[in-house]
Amino acid sequence: MRRACVAGNWKMNNSVQESISLVKELVPGLDKIENVDSVICPPFIALAKVSDLIKDSKIELGAQNLYWEEHGAYTGEVSPGMVGEIAEHVILGHSERRAYFQDTDESVNKKILAALKVGLKPILCIGETLEENEKGRTGDVVKRQLTGALKNVSIEDFGKMMIAYEPVWAIGTGKAATAEGANQVIKEYVRDEVASLYSDDAAEKVRILYGGSVKPENAREYFQQPDIDGALVGGASLKADAFIQITEAAA
What amino acid positions are annotated as catalytic residues? 94, 166
User: What number of chain residues touch ligand PGA (CB under 6 A)?
Assistant: 13
How far apart, in whole angstroms, are the C-alpha atoms of residue 214 and residue 230?
10
Supply the minimum distance, in Å, between the C-beta of residue 60 and ligand PGA. Answer: 16
Computed on alpha carbons and rounded to an integer, the radius of gyration of the chain in Å comes to 17
Q: Which residue is nearest to ligand PGA (CB)?
A: 234
How far apart, in whole angstroms, are the C-alpha atoms of residue 152 and residue 109?
9
How far apart, in whole angstroms, are the C-alpha atoms of residue 153 and residue 249?
33
Interface pick for ligand PGA out of 27, 82, 233, 249 (rule CB under 6 A): 233
Whose Cβ is closer to ligand PGA: residue 133's or residue 213's? 213
How far apart, in whole angstroms, are the C-alpha atoms of residue 10 and residue 110?
23
Q: Does 212 bind ligand PGA (CB under 6 A)?
A: yes
Interface pick for ligand PGA out of 213, 223, 230, 246 (rule CB under 6 A): 213
Residue 182 half-sphere exposure toward CB, CA atoms < 13 A: 34
Q: Does 211 bind ligand PGA (CB under 6 A)?
A: yes
Whose Cβ is closer to ligand PGA: residue 103's or residue 166's? 166
Whose Cβ is closer to ligand PGA: residue 50's or residue 198's? 50
Supply the minimum distance, in Å, between the C-beta of residue 211 and ligand PGA. Answer: 4
Using the contact rule CB under 6 A, the part of the chain among 12-20, 145-153, 188-196, 229-237 near ligand PGA is 229-237
Supply the minimum distance, in Å, between the C-beta of residue 161 and ligand PGA. Answer: 16
How far apart, in whole angstroms, are the C-alpha atoms of residue 55 and residue 49?
10
How far apart, in whole angstroms, are the C-alpha atoms of residue 80 and residue 111?
8
If one counts every other C-beta atom within 10 angstroms of the C-beta of residue 104, the result is: 14
How far apart, in whole angstroms, are the C-alpha atoms of residue 16 and residue 18?
6
Q: Does 214 bind ligand PGA (CB under 6 A)?
A: yes
If one counts every other C-beta atom within 10 angstroms of the C-beta of residue 151, the result is: 15
Q: Which of residues 162-191 bind ligand PGA (CB under 6 A)?
A: 166, 171-172
Which residues of this chain interact with ligand PGA, rule CB under 6 A?
A: 9, 166, 171-172, 211-214, 232-236
